[in-house]
Amino acid sequence: MQIAFNGRSHRLFTRAIAWVLIPVLLGASGLASAAGAACSVHSPAHRVALVELYSSEGCNSCPPADQWLGQWKDSGATQSIVPLALHVDYWNSLGWTDRFSQHRFTERQQTLTDLAGGHTIYTPEIFVSGRELRSWSQRDSFQSRIGKLVSEPAQANVALALTPADARTFDVAAQFTSATPATTGSLSAYVAVYENSLSSQVGAGENSGATLHHERVVRQWIGPVPLVAGNAQIRRAVRFEDDNANAPADRFGVVAFVENDTTGEVLQVAELAACH
């Protein structure tokens, strides 16, 4: 079943840093790491669609949505769709605690809903570039929304680079620039670290006894970082934690995007799988 909550929440305009992030000092000329060759990407001239799934392991309507999102996990090369799964925490008191849930994702879901004039959040819920799409499971509706977005010129530019420091630590450098100085409202930059090929054996709640599989699960979240005079930078050393020491580095990846604070609209996105 679905679960919905009513209420209001306010965007946190502090710089949120996950516990696994290690701040580093980087020289103005570039990344201060010589341990590995950097890989990098720059957002295209057209808009890229950020597809956000709000999900929970406690919700028995969510596994089909998780599976649906997983089909886009390797879509980065097309530069049209960037998927992310954000697990909320409001199901955790209803029988099963989702180990991937974070309260900040509940807050983000509520904020996007508030900005659109709504009040109710639920799972599974899909946002495409900051706008809810209730008909996401209808292929024509989804493709129409994506097609409209990618036909538009980019309103911001995002450059993203990863430099390996060791087998599980990467220096992340993201640069954000507004391409439309006349954009209404302030802009903020974000970086999300995701993980693929995750599974959980659920022992209670609506999915009790099921083995759930997840792709593109957001594990770390940085932002909002305000764009000042149309520019922002995010630089961090990120430690990718994994119980399996032999897991490939490209099981992880980084997404960077620019959002309009006033409307919640995501203006541009770039993504990069972790390089070796």
For 227-262, the three-class secondary structure string (H helix, E strand, C coil) is CECCEEEEEEEEECCCCCCCCCHHHEEEEEEEEECC
pLDDT for 37: 64
Instruction: Tell me the three state secondary structure of residue 228.
Output: strand
The rounded distance, in Å, linking the Cα atoms of 61 and 44 is 35
The rounded distance, in Å, linking the Cα atoms of 43 and 26 is 23
Q: Is 55 exposed, middle or buried (0-12, 13-18, 19+ CB in 10 A)?
A: buried
pLDDT higher than 90, residue 143? yes
pLDDT digits (tens, 9 = 90+) for 220-249: 999 999 999 999 999 999 988 765 556 666
pLDDT digits (tens, 9 = 90+) for 114-126: 999 998 999 999 9
pLDDT for 275: 81
As a whole number, the mean pLDDT across the chain is: 86
pLDDT for 85: 98
Q: What angle do CA 218, 223, 225 make, to 5 degrees?
A: 155
Q: Are 160 and 254 in contact (CB under 8 A)?
A: yes
pLDDT higher than 50, residue 10? no
**Domain 16-273 = CATH 3.90.1150.10:** no
* pLDDT band at 74; cut points 50, 70, 90: confident
Q: Are strands 49-55 and 81-87 parallel, antiparallel or unpaired?
A: parallel
Length of the chain: 276
pLDDT higher than 80, residue 93? yes
pLDDT for 185: 82
Among 222, 212, 211, 161, which residue's Cα sits nearest to residue 38?
161
Tell me which of 61 and 10 has the higher pLDDT. 61
Q: What is the mean pLDDT of residues 169-198?
A: 91
Could you give the percent of the chain with pLDDT greater than 70?
81
Q: Which two tokens stand for residue 4?
A: 């919905």
Q: Are 200 and 174 in contact (CB under 8 A)?
A: no
Domain boundaries, the chain: 16-273
pTM of the model: 0.86
Q: Are 197 and 215 in contact (CB under 8 A)?
A: yes
